């Protein structure tokens, strides 16, 4: 490695912005409840998201009990089975993953990593959380209205979502749509904050191309979300009107359980286009932050700079752009004009290129790295495995011809759980373990965490791998029971039993995580400011956990990219971003090029 | 990898010119089919024309539709080695036509006609599954494609009724039916009131289309053929007196003249729990248990509870509904499996007892006052 540092010249702009003024709350309520501190908001977001995620986890166990042991549990009938299917999907995708990655990690990490005191609009940021909480409460309320939650499937396809014969068409679907609208309003408040903070509030020297990939991933995901969620918002409003006022946006002339309806002329496929125009970017809204975070985990714990940083950034941007032109690959057999299949199959396979590139770069980062199998690293490597698996099955489904026999089967369920459920969840766990010492100041119990990793990692494979087999066997999804279907072999039921047992084990395994988090919060060892020896700014704060305002008297000045690990001649095997070139103790007798000599700090500041 | 896939997709999208057009119609939670008839053209249909008397939504003024062959059944027959273009139409919500062995599937979308094509290459029976979530009964929306040699197919198709024939079917003659009913009355009672001691259920007030289907099932050995179905076997033997279409029409027309007297409850159970369970049943049978012809689910309210219990038990045990051609019974078999035990059966029947009995709304009102 001839090149030692990424930038040859420290690019430190003049101090253009006034120091941000923060409102320091004086009451307990202001500090911890109605807080405007992004870190507190992040924790509120995360705890709420995880809490509702646990509900979704329980719902998935209910589904698995029914599928593994049909006709055994009298409390599961087709009606509440479909409700469980629907709410599990919607909660996991929107209320857990989106909220946790953007509202949770976005809030905590963006200001710290770009060297800002806080989000640029702290008050709006606070509102964002409370509106999100309202959305969650509306969602939870839908379980308790007459008729229960909606059972339309998480895609809420009309006309079925608002027609008799589907559970929850009275209150459930209305509250579901309302909750989504509220969620989007709240998210937009947060999302604008993240984007503006990244673009406007970076500290001096933090050029865009010096930002950690975590920030890039969250930033691009937020941009996607800001562009994609409005499509969902309008379609939710339109469906609400169809349901409550009898408009016909999505409702054609049709019969409903023997009664004629007054609908006329609407298009059910219009909903699908709008939904997936949101829904496909949504996959990347969840995936891009995961990509970013895992890049940082891999580099930090392999003590090596990320391979192809610029390529990684451009790949994130390319994926973000392409994600808006692939949506109809969810609709190959939807009855839309089948000629669309040619276009969308092509774009879908094109998006595999930047995605594969990222995978190669992670693997090449690991190659000959000084790999430390810390808990976050285990999860990161687990993610890479899982993501490759899920990505490969995506090639099957993206290729329109192969999709025809496989769509609406368990192959699809296996695929998307691998790629957008297990993969991001592994990253979430990895990230929580990685930043836990910074957030709490204490170290978690490593042994318990490793148990948690292996149960989750191996367990999810035991759950989702066999589903691919079920899909090839033609087992359709969203079926309450299979009865005696001639073409399904007896092994289908055996496999379902095994999957259910694995699912229960994995679900119980998560108790280890919660126990570990709770116990370590009170009894964990003091972690110190930078236990992993990481370069990014959040590890260089004056206090651990960082206080309101994040940094001390002065904001840090950034002299280098985020990946100076294992630089030859350096004093340590990592050089934090805010260490001036002179202090990095690069030995002067090396044969380095004189141009690398950093000269002086153009801002005229001494840094200690 | 992409290129070969797109070539195959091109084949998928472009239908051979000699493909025979057949329409598959989806509804909650059944399949029906339509063949274009001798003129090779389908008559126009309109969702706004759908009704119990016109389940295909045929336009009566379109001459091209008069010879359309209407197959009001989940079971359809197709000839082997002939390409088929299936036109897919939905009466209500989204559905999906899938035959796993054909490797094709496509959604049915109300308001438009989608299509798929395939060539069956071997004879046999293949299950049709709905693979687009369509409500509570989604997993029970099954059908069957029987692929046969061409001549078998032709003779089957010739047996099916055309729209013209269905429109011109004469109404049943109650007076002729009265003669035929003499045999029935010894068990079912002179007024079709049913007789528990004879194990004969009430007929008065049951819907004509349902009685017709059951008579045909008994006649064709689809019902009453299971070795454990003693009472069904009895009935199957009795049906020999009603062999012709006309006889069935007439006797049903006579039964329809009976007064619909309320029945006494003989079963008690937890009505609250039964009500919970009925959340599923009501989707097909109607929230008042009144039966919905369009969904092919018979009336339950006002029918005899001991008979309902026995039939639910029969469905649960596969004594009824397990015959391969009994697609509706098969559906009920799957649904009855949610009744986990005997008590659940009693509970749901006890709840049905509380539902308003047809033709006696005063009783229903009295019941609701008591609650």
Are A67 and A496 in contact by the 8 Å Cβ rule? The answer is yes
Are A252 and A203 in contact by the 8 Å Cβ rule? The answer is no
Are A486 and B100 in contact by the 8 Å Cβ rule? The answer is no
Please tell me if residue A146 touches chain B, with a CB cutoff of 8 Å.
no
Query: In the numeric block, which tokens belong to residue A310?
Result: 């610029």
Gap between the Cα atoms of A545 and A65, Å rounded = 42
DSSP single-letter state for residue B304: -
Query: In the numeric block, which tokens belong to residue B330?
Result: 């098969």
Evaluated on CA atoms A514, A518, A521, A527, the torsion sign reads negative
Q: Of B60, B306, B271, B307, nearest to B168 (Cα)?
A: B60
Cβ of B111 within 8 Å of Cβ of A153? The answer is no
Residue A486: pLDDT band with limits 50, 70, 90: confident
Q: What pLDDT is recorded for position B358?
A: 64
Q: What b/e readout covers A547-584, taking b as 16+ CB neighbours within 10 angstroms?
A: ebbbbeeebbbbbbbbbbbbbeebeeebbbbbbbbeeb
Residue A363 has pLDDT above 50, yes or no: yes
Gap between the Cα atoms of A110 and A195, Å rounded = 10
Q: What pLDDT is recorded for position B361?
A: 42
What percent of chain B lies above the pLDDT cut of 70? 96
Place of tokens 């010492």: A437
Mean pLDDT of A197-218: 93
Most A CBs within 10 Å, among B3, B4, B5, to test the A interface:
B5
Q: Would you give the end-to-end CA distance of chain B in angstroms?
A: 67
Q: What pLDDT is recorded for position A7?
A: 54
Q: Facing residues of B124 across strands?
A: B147
Please tell me if residue B112 touches chain A, with a CB cutoff of 8 Å.
yes
Residues in chain A: 608
Cβ of A333 within 8 Å of Cβ of B106? The answer is yes
Are A567 and A575 in contact by the 8 Å Cβ rule? The answer is yes
Q: What pLDDT is recorded for position A585?
A: 64
Give chain A positions within 8 Å (CB) of B275. none
Q: Facing residues of B97 across strands?
A: B106, B130
- Span A379-413, pLDDT tens digits: 999 999 999 999 999 999 999 999 999 999 999 99
Are A418 and A426 in contact by the 8 Å Cβ rule? The answer is no
Give chain B positions within 8 Å (CB) of A408. 96, 98, 105, 131-132
- Span B173-207, pLDDT tens digits: 888 888 889 888 889 988 888 888 888 999 988 88
E strands in A186-319:
255-256, 259-260
Give chain B positions within 8 Å (CB) of A260. 48, 50-51
Are A355 and A315 in contact by the 8 Å Cβ rule? The answer is yes
Minimal CA separation from A86 to chain B, in Å: 11
Q: Which residue of A has its CA nearest to B133?
A: A478
Are B55 and A260 in contact by the 8 Å Cβ rule? The answer is no
Cβ of A267 within 8 Å of Cβ of B341? The answer is no
- Span A32-63, pLDDT tens digits: 888 899 999 999 999 999 999 999 999 999 99
Residue A595 has pLDDT above 50, yes or no: no
* Least confident among A77-86, A294-303, A517-526, A543-552: A543-552
Most B CBs within 10 Å, among A335, A340, A406, A496, to test the B interface:
A335
Residue A342 has pLDDT above 80, yes or no: yes
Please tell me if residue A164 touches chain B, with a CB cutoff of 8 Å.
yes
Residue B75: pLDDT band with limits 50, 70, 90: very high
Prediction pTM value:
0.90
Evaluated on CA atoms A289, A290, A294, A297, the torsion sign reads positive
- Which residues 317-346 of B are in CB contact (within 8 Å) with A? 330, 333-335, 337-338, 340-341, 344
Residue A425: pLDDT band with limits 50, 70, 90: very high
DSSP single-letter state for residue A262: S
Place of tokens 């995580």: A513
Gap between the Cα atoms of A58 and A48, Å rounded = 16
Please tell me if residue B231 touches chain A, with a CB cutoff of 8 Å.
no
Gap between the Cα atoms of B330 and B337, Å rounded = 11
Gap between the Cα atoms of A13 and A207, Å rounded = 9
For chain B, what is the mean pLDDT? 88
Q: What b/e readout covers A256-290, taking b as 16+ CB neighbours within 10 angstroms?
A: bbbeebebeebbbbebbbbbbbbbbbbbbbbbbbb
Q: Give the CA angle between residues B241, B242, B244 to the nearest 5°.
A: 130
Query: What is the number of other CB atoms lying within 10 angstroms of the CB of residue B243?
Result: 10
3-state secondary structure at position A473: coil
Gap between the Cα atoms of B58 and B67, Å rounded = 11
Please tell me if residue A75 touches chain B, with a CB cutoff of 8 Å.
no
Q: Of A438, A431, A437, A507, nearest to A217 (Cα)?
A: A431
- Span A6-22, pLDDT tens digits: 555 566 666 666 666 77
Give chain B positions within 8 Å (CB) of A474. 100
Most B CBs within 10 Å, among A149, A255, A472, to test the B interface:
A255
Gap between the Cα atoms of B265 and B260, Å rounded = 15
ipTM, 2 dp: 0.89
Tell me how many helices (H) and strands (E) chain A has: 16, 2
Q: Which residue of A has its CA nearest to B294?
A: A258
Give chain A positions within 8 Å (CB) of B101. 487
Residue A95 has pLDDT above 70, yes or no: yes
Please tell me if residue B3 touches chain A, with a CB cutoff of 8 Å.
no
Mean pLDDT of A95-106: 95
Gap between the Cα atoms of B184 and A232, Å rounded = 61
Please tell me if residue A303 touches chain B, with a CB cutoff of 8 Å.
no
Give chain A positions within 8 Å (CB) of B28. 165, 257
* A257, A479, A487 member nearest B100 (Cβ): A487
Residue B365 has pLDDT above 50, yes or no: no
Q: Of A444, A598, A442, A608, nearest to A540 (Cα)?
A: A608
Cβ of B105 within 8 Å of Cβ of A254? The answer is no
Q: How is A119-183 classified by DSSP, letter by letter? A: -S-HHHHHHHHHHHHHHHHHHHHTTTSTT-S--STTTT-TTGGGSTTSTTTTTHHHHHHHHHHHH
- Which residues 172-201 of B are in CB contact (within 8 Å) with A? none
Gap between the Cα atoms of B162 and B56, Å rounded = 12
Higher pLDDT, B57 or A24: B57
Question: Chains A and B: how many Cβ contacts under 8 Å?
Answer: 199
Please tell me if residue B5 touches chain A, with a CB cutoff of 8 Å.
yes
Exposure on the CB side of residue B59, measured as CA atoms within 13 A: 11
Helix extents (H) in chain B = 2-13, 150-159, 163-167, 174-188, 208-219, 230-238, 245-255, 271-285, 305-317, 327-336, 342-354, 361-370
Please tell me if residue A256 touches chain B, with a CB cutoff of 8 Å.
yes
Please tell me if residue A167 touches chain B, with a CB cutoff of 8 Å.
yes
- Span A311-338, pLDDT tens digits: 999 999 999 999 999 999 999 999 999 9
Evaluated on CA atoms A290, A291, A293, A298, the torsion sign reads positive
* B51, B93, B108 member nearest A163 (Cβ): B93
- Span A122-174, pLDDT tens digits: 999 999 999 999 999 999 999 999 889 999 999 999 999 999 999 999 899 99
Please tell me if residue A152 touches chain B, with a CB cutoff of 8 Å.
yes
Gap between the Cα atoms of B307 and B313, Å rounded = 10
- Span B113-159, pLDDT tens digits: 999 999 999 999 999 999 999 999 999 999 999 999 999 999 999 99
Are A128 and A145 in contact by the 8 Å Cβ rule? The answer is no
Query: In the numeric block, which tokens belong to residue A433?
Result: 């373990």
How far is CA A447 from its chain centroid?
26
Q: Facing residues of A260 across strands?
A: A255
- Span B271-305, pLDDT tens digits: 899 988 898 898 899 888 888 998 999 999 888 88
Q: Of B63, B82, B77, nearest to B35 (Cα)?
A: B77
Query: In the numeric block, which tokens belong to residue A257?
Result: 């359980």
* B136, B330, B337 member nearest A79 (Cβ): B136
- Which residues 403-432 of A are in CB contact (within 8 Å) with B? 404-405, 407-409
* A74, A160, A267 member nearest B134 (Cβ): A160
CB burial of residue B225 (10 Å; 0-12, 13-18, 19+):
middle
Tell me how many helices (H) and strands (E) chain B has: 12, 10
Minimal CA separation from A208 to chain B, in Å: 36
Q: Facing residues of B125 across strands?
A: B146
Residue A258 has pLDDT above 60, yes or no: yes
Q: What pLDDT is recorded for position A598?
A: 43
């Amino acid at each position: 490695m001839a090149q030692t540092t990424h930038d040859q010249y420290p690019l430190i702009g003049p101090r253009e912005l006034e120091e941000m003024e923060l409102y320091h709350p004086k009451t307990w309520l202001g500090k911890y409840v109605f807080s405007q501190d992004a870190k507190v908001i992040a924790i509120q977001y995360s705890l709420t998201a995880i809490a509702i995620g646990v509900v979704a986890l329980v719902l998935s166990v209910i589904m698995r009990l029914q599928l593994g042991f049909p006709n055994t549990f009298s409390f599961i009938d087709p009606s509440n089975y479909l409700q469980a299917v629907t709410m599990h999907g919607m909660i996991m995708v929107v209320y857990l993953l989106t909220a946790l990655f953007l509202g949770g990690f976005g809030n905590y990490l963006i200001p710290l990593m770009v060297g800002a005191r806080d989000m640029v609009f702290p008050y709006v940021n606070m509102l964002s959380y409370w509106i999100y909480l309202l959305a969650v409460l509306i969602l939870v309320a839908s379980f308790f209205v007459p008729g229960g939650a909606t059972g339309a499937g998480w895609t809420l396809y009309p006309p079925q979502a608002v027609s008799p014969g589907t559970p929850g068409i009275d209150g459930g679907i209305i509250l579901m749509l309302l909750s989504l609208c509220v969620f989007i309003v709240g998210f937009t408040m947060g999302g604008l904050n993240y984007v503006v903070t990244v673009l406007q509030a970076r500290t001096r020297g933090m050029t865009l191309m010096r930002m950690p990939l975590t920030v890039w991933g969250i930033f691009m995901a937020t941009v996607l979300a800001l562009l994609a969620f409005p499509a969902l918002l309008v379609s939710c409003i339109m469906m609400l009107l169809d349901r409550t006022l009898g408009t016909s946006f999505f409702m054609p002339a049709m019969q409903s359980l023997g009664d004629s309806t007054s609908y006329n002329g609407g298009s059910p496929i219009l909903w699908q286009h709008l939904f997936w125009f949101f829904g496909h970017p949504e996959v990347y809204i969840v995936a891009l932050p995961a990509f970013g975070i895992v890049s940082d985990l891999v580099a930090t714990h392999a003590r090596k700079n990320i391979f192809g940083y610029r390529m990684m950034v451009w790949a994130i941007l390319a994926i973000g752009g392409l994600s808006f032109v692939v949506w109809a690959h969810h609709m190959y057999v939807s009855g839309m004009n089948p000629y669309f299949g040619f276009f969308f199959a092509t774009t879908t396979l094109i998006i595999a290129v930047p995605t594969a590139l990222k995978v190669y770069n992670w693997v090449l980062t690991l190659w000959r790295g000084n790999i430390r199998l810390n808990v976050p690293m285990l999860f990161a490597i687990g993610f890479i495995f899982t993501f490759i698996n899920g990505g490969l099955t995506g090639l099957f489904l993206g290729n329109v011809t192969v999709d025809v026999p496989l769509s609406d089967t368990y192959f699809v369920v296996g695929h998307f759980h691998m790629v957008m459920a297990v993969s991001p969840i592994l990253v979430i766990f990895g990230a929580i373990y990685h930043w836990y010492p910074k957030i709490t100041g204490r170290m978690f119990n490593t042994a318990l965490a490793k148990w948690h990793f292996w149960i989750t990692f191996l367990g999810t494979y035991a759950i989702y791998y066999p589903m691919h087999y079920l899909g090839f066997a033609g087992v359709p999804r969203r079926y309450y029971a299979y009865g005696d279907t001639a073409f399904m072999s007896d092994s289908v039921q055996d496999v379902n039993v095994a999957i259910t047992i694995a699912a229960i084990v994995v679900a119980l395994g998560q108790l280890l995580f919660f126990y570990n988090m709770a116990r370590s919060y009170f009894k964990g060892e003091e972690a110190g400011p930078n236990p992993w020896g990481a370069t990014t700014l959040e590890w260089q704060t004056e206090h651990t956990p960082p206080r309101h305002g994040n940094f001390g008297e002065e904001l840090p000045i950034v002299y280098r990219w985020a990946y100076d690990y294992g630089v030859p001649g350096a004093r340590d095997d990592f050089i934090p971003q805010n260490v001036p070139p002179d202090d990095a103790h690069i030995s002067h007798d090396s044969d380095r090029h004189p141009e690398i000599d950093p000269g002086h700090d153009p801002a005229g500041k001494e840094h200690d | 990898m992409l290129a070969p896939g797109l070539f195959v997709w091109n084949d998928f999208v472009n239908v051979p010119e000699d493909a025979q057009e057949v329409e598959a119609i989806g509804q909650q939670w059944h399949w029906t089919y339509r063949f274009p008839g001798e003129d090779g053209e389908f008559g126009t249909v309109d969702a706004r024309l759908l009704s119990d008397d016109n389940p295909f939504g045929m336009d009566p003024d379109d001459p091209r539709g008069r010879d359309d062959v209407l197959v009001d059944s989940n079971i359809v027959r197709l000839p082997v080695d002939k390409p088929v273009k299936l036109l897919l139409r939905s009466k209500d919500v989204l559905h999906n036509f899938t035959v796993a062995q054909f490797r094709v599937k496509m959604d049915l979308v109300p308001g438009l006609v989608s299509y798929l094509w395939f060539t069956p290459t071997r004879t046999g029976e293949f299950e049709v599954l709905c693979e687009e979530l369509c409500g509570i009964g989604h997993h029970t929306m099954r059908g069957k494609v029987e692929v046969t040699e061409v001549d078998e197919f032709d003779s089957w198709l010739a047996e099916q009724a055309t729209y013209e024939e269905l429109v011109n079917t004469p109404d049943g003659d109650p007076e002729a039916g009265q003669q035929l009913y003499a045999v029935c009355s010894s068990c079912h009672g002179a007024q079709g009131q049913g007789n528990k001691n004879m194990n004969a259920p009430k007929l008065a007030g049951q819907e004509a289309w349902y009685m017709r289907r059951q008579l045909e099932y008994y006649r064709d050995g689809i019902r009453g053929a299971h070795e454990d179905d003693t009472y069904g076997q009895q009935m199957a033997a009795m049906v020999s007196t009603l062999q012709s279409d006309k006889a069935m029409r007439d006797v049903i027309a006579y039964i329809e003249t009976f007064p619909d007297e309320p029945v006494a409850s003989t079963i008690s159970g937890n009505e609250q729990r039964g009500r919970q369970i009925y959340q599923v049943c009501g989707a097909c049978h109607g929230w008042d248990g009144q039966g919905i012809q369009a969904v092919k689910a018979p009336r339950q309210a006002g029918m005899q509870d001991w008979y309902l219990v026995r039939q639910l038990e029969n469905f649960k045990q596969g004594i009824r509904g397990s015959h391969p051609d009994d697609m509706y019974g098969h559906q009920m078999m799957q649904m009855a499996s949610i009744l986990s035990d005997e008590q659940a059966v009693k509970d749901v029947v006890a709840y049905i007892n509380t539902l308003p009995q047809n033709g006696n709304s005063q009783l229903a009102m009295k019941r609701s006052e008591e609650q």
